């Protein structure tokens, strides 16, 4: 197999990311959630460590969703008719995305919760 250039590989990877965002409803949902999280983070003035955790968390959720999409594509290719094992593989992959999304929500509560409570308390004075 011929070795491909770095730029060709980067182009292929970017095409995969674009395909995931263009074709997958959940990727669009994750994108909207990420935009909202970044907006709230800017409003609340997160520090560098908090931004690092937020960016890493968003990236992990997106990566899990892209891997899930990849697995679904391969399963559909190899098993066009219904198969219990194929369905289970898809469910497991979707479950991995769910776990990362729940973890992301927990990170959001831990980072934003105290700051939002403090901000809201300012209105009760």
**Residue 121 annotated in active site:** no
The active-site residue, picked from 65, 72, 73, 121, is 65
The distance from CA 76 to its chain's CA centroid, rounded to whole angstroms, is 22
Give the angle 61-100-30 at the CA atoms, nearest 5°: 40
What would the 3-class secondary structure string for the chain be?
CCCCCHHHHHHHHHHHHHHHHHHCHHHHHHHHHHHHHHHHHHHHCCCHHHHHHHHHHHHHHHHHHHHHHHHHHHHHHHCCCCCHHHHHHHHHHHHHHHHHHHHHHHHHHHHHHHHHHHHHHCCCC
What positions carry a catalytic annotation? 65
């Amino acid at each position: 197999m011929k070795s491909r250039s770095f730029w060709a590989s980067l182009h292929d990877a970017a095409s995969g990311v674009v395909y995931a965002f263009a074709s997958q409803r959940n990727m669009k949902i994750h994108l909207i959630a990420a935009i909202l999280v970044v907006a709230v983070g800017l409003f609340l003035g997160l520090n560098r460590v908090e931004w690092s955790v937020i960016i890493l968390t968003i990236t992990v959720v997106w990566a899990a969703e892209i891997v899930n999409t990849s697995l679904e594509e391969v399963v559909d290719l190899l098993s066009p008719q219904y198969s219990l094992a194929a369905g289970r593989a898809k469910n497991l992959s979707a479950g991995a995305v769910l776990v990362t999304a729940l973890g992301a929500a927990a990170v959001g509560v831990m980072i934003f919760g105290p700051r939002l409570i403090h901000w809201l308390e300012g209105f009760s004075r």
